[in-house]
Structure 1
């Protein structure tokens, strides 16, 4: 949690900006709420290195120097961070760190920095293997600097996210959790003057795009590492108030970094109030670090869930539509199954925006998100009324191909296909600890392997290896009986079959997302 200058100010950074922003964050209660990092981004340096090869800060922008600035920020209670680039030049054309990694790391620590963002522009070799070598080198250097290790923020995945074949993107995502604490996985959130660069993209388009990339990657997130969908540019000029609040609520639900890139000095009391919402920040900072995953998606409504460290359950409802509305979410879609799991007679539901609690009988139909405005988000924390007791749940939600975005779809006949996501019960799947998987459409049938395809059948619920499905961080869902991967395949008629095939290496047709909480 903290502040970065880039999305709001780009190259317009200087000493006064950071001093005044830090002081405003203290005065407005942002520091007290947990926003305790202040990070410099690109264009802080001179265009050349010093004679000894070390980086030089721009003395016009930082007349008292970066060591003075970091010391001042620390006296206020902040942890300072800085930017560099893995290549020969930064994205803005300033000196990159390629070949100078150890010198630069030592310099940054000597200057007092505790966080390092390493971007990925202008690499001499743009292959995935080259990025792994360079970022691995950074990992080794930073790890050796104990007790002065900087938090390592990696931008490598963003340089592979837009390829037609996502194998390299998936590959990078497998190694960034080993190297650092967070990684930016896709494109930047829109900068303030975005119309100069992308006149046809709105701020809300940008939020939804990065959110859409984030939900593909929940399997990588764990304590010690988080996926980074980039900054909270909540004062982008074309955001509505509801879009600003949704940006914050979604990032909080995803346990994503809450790094503001906004004009803090002119932040209104209303903006401060929602950005310091204690309940949403608690969800974001929950020690379990689960990334909320999709229960359902139909083009208008997204429903996401995750579990929290104390046993509570989170439900987030996003209205993508153009009109306000209500949405009912049955208990089963939240992962609550009273017939199978110990369940209290009632559930306490807290609306994290309003702060109100209501108690719902488990015999009711479930939770209703009421009056969610266009592009607004409802966030609810569900608790067991018996203090200290958890709500027992099964991981429940969509199983979808992270390339095509097609949902695994059951049918009353038992045939299983891939199709557009419609939020039907046929596309909401429960994953049991023993590896059995069934849809909410056919609760007495489970996925099993039959003649080279995945089908839904009562025999699939029988005990035994042949009906167990194992999920891997690679994104492969493997039938343990035949050791084949769930695959999206097109038959001659054009329908999308849920077939089983030998597991390839991170192939588009075999990487799928499952509900959070499934064992990897």
Structure 2
């Protein structure tokens, strides 16, 4: 991880934010110790990073999360530590961490109080209204990074829960901009990680201006469905990320015992190629964290994908919902591409991937990253064997990129025949290219398109679906929220096939595109395509679709 304080080299910056050219890596106390850190815990885990070799792989920021401050500020208004939990104090803790060759991470929040594990009577100081003095305090303590949380957002009404997914403020960026500016004013480089949970609109627009990383989702949980939820929420941010500006998919749960070994590799691999910070949430202790989990965290080849100097987030290229797998792809340095083949289903399967569809045209040699071996040359197609809940990571040389030589045929959603509750809505520039959409796709509703082109060959076609889904799982993240909306598509009366549509970005008026393959097309402009909602939950809003013939 390369850290620089930059203001001029990256022209999109709004302030002189300290940037890590690659995603930050480290250890955080929250996932295992919750809001109950203490000096012994932090020191022992800092030492564990060194002892286990984790620091040599790149995990070098040690952060005590919520629970460290005193309930009160000092007589002169300075934030301070709880002396019972940290008897040596934070300057001394920072010196200990620095003495190990590591960086000292700090935690505060953009509210009146910081996040706590219960809902009353425990109010620990955060930084709203104290940004300048707290930034200077963190600098004098030797702080190298700051995770900045979002509890008690701009209010002190203790009758309202400290986590508010619908704050009354008009512009949440103001609170985070204040601390970003304050950190820029101190005589120390401090990495700023925004932890706003993906609440509200335009997070990908404003957060990169003020922070090195920004949280896109509610907290990760120790279960498999949480991985699906967060990966679906990460999809649209590829348009906002790059060197020095990275999404944060939350602290890793590798080593906490909730996921299987294959699921832990899936989780770690998807975080790595998405260019999320790799922050260990399990104890850096071989007696508390399984050897297999530590081996995952220590895998230098997977870490190298995360730390690749291009800083490019892998994007969802194809989704095969009924088959249960996705294909992600992204460019990495050395004229190479990483492909993630993610099997969400419980069962093992073999899948055939047309590599031209992921942007690789000529033959070459494939590297299986987890297996640490070459699996030989390919010639335009590849068969991949997947265990249940396995994500293969493959590296391929890229000698030519696929381009479409023929413009697709495009069909605006509002030109279809609408049945049921579905209705058309004008939304202007917010849902280009059509300026309109159909919404309220409830069960029993449908949109039917006639005279759809099947080209000169018919058969299977690539369909690019423009849709809108901002049904973000915030409060529902704790139950069954998935961040997805579903459609079924049927061609010429064939059996409908279901597709799960991830978050599309920005707000309800910003489109995303999902490319899928559908078969059953006839030659020429004689085809019928029907879109329906397959279940009790409404489908996504439909803007239109392109058929590549």
TM-score class, shorter: 0.7 to 0.9
Partner Cα distance (2:269, 2:93) in 1: 32
Which of 385, 389, 396 aligns to 1:382? It is 396
Q: For each residue in 1:289-331, what CA deviation from the matched residue of structure 2 results, as whole angstroms up to 9, or x when unmatched? A: 1111112223311111111122101111111111122222112
Structure 2 unaligned residues grouped into runs of 5+: 1-24, 117-122, 156-166, 417-427, 450-464, 469-504, 516-549
Partner Cα distance (2:255, 2:436) in 1: 43
Q: For each residue in 1:80-101, what CA deviation from the matched residue of structure 2 results, as whole angstroms up to 9, or x when unmatched? A: 1111111111111311211111
TM-score by length of 1: 0.72
What is the aligned length? 406
CA, structure 1 residues 218+513, in 2 after alignment: closer, same or farther (shift >3 Å)? farther
Are 2:238 and 1:218 aligned? yes
Quick check: 2:431–2:509 contact (8 Å CA) kept in 1? no
Are 2:393 and 1:369 aligned? no
Q: How far is 1:499 from its partner?
A: 8.6
SS in structure 2 of the partner of residue 136 of structure 1: helix
Q: How far is 1:237 from its partner?
A: 3.0
CA, structure 1 residues 506+82, in 2 after alignment: closer, same or farther (shift >3 Å)? closer
In structure 1, the partner of 2:182 is: 141
In structure 2, the partner of 1:347 is: 364
Quick check: 1:70–1:80 contact (8 Å CA) kept in 2? yes
Instruction: Pick the structure with more helix per residue.
Output: 1
CA, structure 1 residues 350+184, in 2 after alignment: closer, same or farther (shift >3 Å)? same
TM-score by length of 2: 0.69
In structure 2, the partner of 1:318 is: 342
Where relative contact order (Cα < 8 A, 6+ residues apart) is larger, the structure is: 2
Which of 4, 17, 33 aligns to 1:9? It is 33
Which is worse superposed, 486-495 or 274-283?
486-495
In structure 2, the partner of 1:185 is: 216
Which of 278, 282, 289 aligns to 2:304? It is 282
Q: For each residue in 1:315-349, what CA deviation from the matched residue of structure 2 results, as whole angstroms up to 9, or x when unmatched? A: 11111111122222112222124xxxxx4xx3110
Partner Cα distance (1:328, 1:156) in 2: 39
Q: For each residue in 1:355-404, what CA deviation from the matched residue of structure 2 results, as whole angstroms up to 9, or x when unmatched? A: 11133242xx512222x221111110112xxxxxx43324xxxxxxxxxx
Quick check: 2:342–2:389 contact (8 Å CA) kept in 1? yes
Are 2:223 and 1:207 aligned? no
Quick check: 2:46–2:97 contact (8 Å CA) kept in 1? yes
SS in structure 1 of the partner of residue 230 of structure 2: helix
Q: For each residue in 1:156-185, what CA deviation from the matched residue of structure 2 results, as whole angstroms up to 9, or x when unmatched? A: 243x2xxxxxxx33x232100001100011
SS in structure 1 of the partner of residue 140 of structure 2: helix
CA, structure 1 residues 83+382, in 2 after alignment: closer, same or farther (shift >3 Å)? same
Are 2:57 and 1:26 aligned? no
1:407-418 equivalent positions in 2, closer than 5 A: none
Partner Cα distance (2:467, 2:67) in 1: 50
SS in structure 1 of the partner of residue 188 of structure 2: coil
Instruction: Pick the structure with more strand per residue.
Output: 2
In structure 1, the partner of 2:143 is: 113
CA, structure 1 residues 314+475, in 2 after alignment: closer, same or farther (shift >3 Å)? farther
In structure 2, the partner of 1:173 is: 204
Are 2:401 and 1:393 aligned? yes
Q: How far is 1:61 from its partner?
A: 1.2
SS in structure 1 of the partner of residue 153 of structure 2: coil
CA, structure 1 residues 239+315, in 2 after alignment: closer, same or farther (shift >3 Å)? same
Q: How far is 1:509 from its partner?
A: 4.8
Partner Cα distance (2:230, 2:34) in 1: 19
Are 2:94 and 1:94 aligned? no
CA, structure 1 residues 319+514, in 2 after alignment: closer, same or farther (shift >3 Å)? closer
Are 2:253 and 1:253 aligned? no
Partner Cα distance (1:500, 1:245) in 2: 31
Are 2:81 and 1:57 aligned? yes
